[in-house]
Amino acid sequence: MPSEHEKQATSHIKKELSLGLWEKYLTLWIALCIVAGLLLGRFLPEFGQFMDSLKFAQLSIPIGVLLFFMMYPTVVGIRFSDVKKAAQNPKPLLVTIFANWVIAPILMTVLANTFLAGNPQYIAGVILLGLSPCTAMVMWWMFLAKGDMAQGLINTAVNALIMLVLYAPLAALYLGVSSIPVPWDLIAVSVLFFIALPVGAGALSRRLIIKRKGEEWFKDKYNPAVGKISIVALLVTLVVLFSFAGQTILNDPLLVGYLALPNLIHYAVMITWTYLLGYFLGWKYETAIDTTIIGSSSHFEVAIAVATTLYGIGSGAALATVIGPLMEVPLMLSLVWLGLRTRKYFPRKKYAKAQVVQKE
């Protein structure tokens, strides 16, 4: 009879063998795509400029299409009953709202004024990033971290609606600028593309596929296939995204580091307190990681649009908002890695009880 250790080893090997090249070496592919995007932006800047010129309602069309193909696989597996169940637990949503709309703006304003003192446009750009909670790629990071997708969908949708109401007054308050131009069209298109359309397409295709092929085929065949499409979409997104600012990053890395510092500290603080709060409140891992990912990410398209409108496309504020999303990818990937390796400690009470039983 094989020992328990041998069984675990065999199970691990089977799992590794079942992973495709995309999943098994995802970190490597992401690193290669980031490098490819930077080199494209540096040595073929026309590529990034052309990609950036393709816009609709201030939203990059290439990024929008790619993000849709990233979002669809994250929501196609969500059942309506899961959403109803998640809605009955308002605490994660309340923490998300508090993190995004109370703590994040204050923290980013303090950090920007501390580390970027004397550079008002850089300060403005960084503050705008802190005011923009993510409503797009955040779903993909939750999917990758094996979070609660139903809870994540609710939190993301509510964040998008709150943005319509609070973004302008908060931006005016923290920037000290009146008549803040709110990109209503960009926010509306973002909600349509990154929430309504993927959710609608996911619900419809799920119902039709299960009706024709059965739930087992849907889970075992269809879900893994669209999951691979989402990974390819992420990798192409990284190439396009990093090509936008490749020339700036490689030509002036010290400036990038200067602008990155308040963002890095902001991410570290937001990730630490939201993740630990979920742990000490006894939440299950899937709920805690959702709150942490949403609470620490930013909607860079909105920040870039407002900075460009207020200060100009070549301004320091616009540059500061561009640096944010370039940092967010490796940081969110690190958070996913952290979450997957610490999820065994959630929920706290259950883990503590298991440790006591094990000692006995």
Spatial CB neighbours of 223, under 8 Å, sequence gap ≥ 6: 73, 76, 77
Structure tokens that stand for 57 in this block: 């309602």
Angle of CA points 353, 357, 360, to nearest 5°:
140
- What pLDDT score does 217 carry? 92
Torsion of CA 326, 330, 335, 339, to 10 degrees: 140
Q: Is 182 helix (H, G, I), strand (E, B) or coil?
A: coil
| CA 54 to centroid of chain Cα atoms | 23
Per-residue confidence (pLDDT) for residue 21, from 0 to 100? 59
- The pLDDT assigned to 346 comes to 93
Full-model pTM: 0.79
**Predicted local distance difference test score (pLDDT) of residue 8:** 46
Q: 59 with 301: CB under 8 angstroms?
A: yes
Q: What is the pLDDT of residue 286?
A: 94
Torsion of the alpha carbons at 80, 82, 84 and 89, rounded to the nearest 10: -160
Domains of the chain: 25-239+250-345 (1.20.1530.20)
For 163-220, the pLDDT digits (tens) are 878 887 888 888 876 455 666 676 677 767 777 888 888 889 989 999 999 989 998 8
> 134 is written with which tokens?
């993510």
Integer Cα distance of 104 and 116 in angstroms: 17
Residue 106: its pLDDT value, please? 94
Cα dihedral 169→259→55→247 (10° resolution) = 170
Torsion angle, alpha carbons of 254, 306, 101, 327, to 10: -30
Query: Considering only CA atoms, which of 49, 74, 72, 75 is closest in space to residue 62?
Result: 49
pLDDT of residue 126: 92
Q: Can you give the pLDDT at residue 232? A: 86
Instruction: Give the closest residue to 107 by CA, choosing from 299, 234, 266, 224.
Output: 266
Count of beta carbons in the 10 Å neighbourhood of residue 108:
25
Average pLDDT, consecutive stretches of 10 residues, N- to C-terminus, the chain (360 residues): 47 44 73 87 83 76 82 80 80 93 94 92 90 80 90 86 82 72 68 78 90 90 85 84 76 86 94 96 95 88 76 79 78 91 87 54
pLDDT of residue 183: 66
Angle of the 120-130 helix axis to the 300-311 helix axis, nearest 10: 150
Helix (H) or strand (E) holding 238: helix 223-244
Q: H/E element holding 256?
A: helix 253-280
| Rounded CA separation 163/177 (Å) | 18
